[in-house]
Amino acid sequence: MTDLDDLKGLEKYDRTKMLDLITAFPEQIRDAKCIGSGYEAQPELKRSYKNMVIAGVGGSAIGADLVRSYVLKESKNPIIVNRNYTMPAFVGDESLVVASSYSGNTEETLSAYDDAKAKSAKIIAITSGGELEKKARSDGFGVMIVPKGMPPRAALGYSFFPLLILLSKLGLLIGQKDKEIDETIQNLRELNDKKIGQAVPSGKNIAKRIAAELYGKFPIIYGGQDNIDSIVTRWRGQLAENAKTLSSSQLFPEMNHNEIVGWENPKSMLKSLAVVMLRDKDDHPRNSKRMDITKTIIEKEGVKVIEVSSIGGGLLSRIFSLIYMGDFVSFYLAMLNKRDPTPVERVTYLKNKLIE
C-alpha cells in the first residue's frame, strides 16, 4: 500500500499537484473574500425578489448548493440550484439568477443563461471568463471575475464565498459574513497543520485513516438534511473525480424510510461496503438519534461505519471543516489507488463526443 507519509512517493502519482491546491484552500478563501468584498453590485439589483436561481453544474453548482444549505434558516427567498439547460417556469422579471460557470464555457449554464435572459430575470455571472463573461458584459449584466486555471472542483472557494458576500450586499441575508469567513480560514489552517494535512503522520491524521479504511471498499456517504446535505454531495463528487472511486449517498431522515431496509442483500456485496456518516452538533436531535440507531443496524451486518464530526465554532467553520476533510480523504484515497487526482478523462471524452 502507498505510504501516505512519504511526500516524495506521492509526487509519483500526484503529477499535476492537486495536493498543493487542496492545501492552499484556506488562502483561496481569503482571496475569494477579497473578490466578493471588492465587487460593487449594480444599484438596481438591491431590491426584493420572489425567488433566486443559481445556474451551474459540477464544481460551480456545489458552491451554490453549499450557499443554499448554509443560509437555509436565514434567507427569506427561496433559493434553487438549477443543473439544467433551461430555467424553471416560475423564473421571471422578479427573479434573481446567478449564472455560475468557472470556465465560462459550460454549455448547460450558457443555455440556462439565455433562457433566464429571455424570461427577463435579473442576472449576475460568476466566472473566470469564457463565453459567459462575453454574454453578460454584452447584455449589460454584472460579472464577478475569479482567477482561472484550476479544476472547477478545486475552485470551490471562488464559487461559494463571492456568492455568499454578494447575497449579503444585496440585503438578501442578515448582516455581513466577515467574522464567520475569517473564523473558517483560521479553522482550516489549524486542521491542515494538526489533523489532516500531508505533514501530519498517519497515526494522528484523521483523513489518512479514513482513506485507508475506504481503500478497496464501496463508500456510502450519509448525513443529515439540515446544513449537511450538500456536504454529502461534495464528498461523493470528490471521491469520484479525485479518487476515481464510485460511491453513493443518502440523507436522514429520508434514508430511514427506504434505504435502511435494503441493508440485507446482496450478502456477497455487504462486505465490500463502508459507511461514512457526517455529523454536526446542529443536526436535528431526532436525526442524531436516527443516525445512532442506523449505525447499530449497519454494524450488525458486519459493515464498518466511520463517523466524521465537524470541527469548529460557527456553522460556516464547521461546514467547511467537513468539506476540507473530505477533500483530503479523496486525495489520499487517490494515492492509495495510485491515480493522479486531477485528470478527468471520461468527462473530457464525453465533452468531445458532444461536440461531434
Count CB neighbours of 301 within 10 A. 12
Residue 1 has a pLDDT of: 79
Give me the half-sphere count of Cα atoms (radius 13 Å) on the Cβ side of residue 120: 4
| pLDDT digit string, tens, across residues 210-227 | 999 999 999 999 999 988
How far is residue 53 from each of residues 167, 187, 348, measured CA to CA in Å? 12, 30, 27
By three-state DSSP, how is residue 32 classified?
A: helix
Is residue 260 within 8 A of residue 204, CB to CB? The reply is: no
Catalytic residue among 204, 271, 289, 351: 351
Among this protein's residues, is 241 annotated catalytic? Answer: yes
Low-confidence ranges of the chain (pLDDT < 70): none
At position 113, the amino acid (one-letter code) is Y
Q: Which CATH class is domain 19-176?
A: alpha beta
Residue 76 has a pLDDT of: 80
How far is residue 92 from each of residues 80, 118, 122, measured CA to CA in Å? 14, 9, 8
Residue 226 has a pLDDT of: 86
Residue 158 has a pLDDT of: 97
Query: Is beta strand 248-252 parallel, antiparallel or unpaired with respect to 95-101?
Result: unpaired
Domain with CATH 3.40.50.10490 in the chain: 7-16+180-336, 19-176
Q: Looking at the domain that runs over 7-16+180-336, which CATH code has it been given?
A: 3.40.50.10490
Residue 257 has a pLDDT of: 98
Predicted TM-score (pTM) of this structure: 0.96
Report the first-to-last Cα separation within the chain, whole angstroms.
Answer: 41
Catalytic residue among 8, 257, 267, 353: 257
| pLDDT digit string, tens, across residues 51-82 | 999 999 998 999 999 999 999 888 888 899 99
Count CB neighbours of 195 within 10 A. 17
Residue 75 has a pLDDT of: 85
Among this protein's residues, is 284 annotated catalytic? Answer: no
How far is residue 332 from each of residues 140, 218, 238, 252, 335, measured CA to CA in Å? 44, 16, 11, 27, 5
With CA atoms as reference, report the closest residue to 243 among 219, 277, 270, 278: 219
Among this protein's residues, is 27 annotated catalytic? Answer: no
Catalytic residue among 108, 177, 241, 244: 241
How far is residue 139 from each of residues 44, 67, 108, 146, 155, measured CA to CA in Å? 15, 26, 19, 20, 26
Residue 43 has a pLDDT of: 87
d(CA 227, CA 30): 22
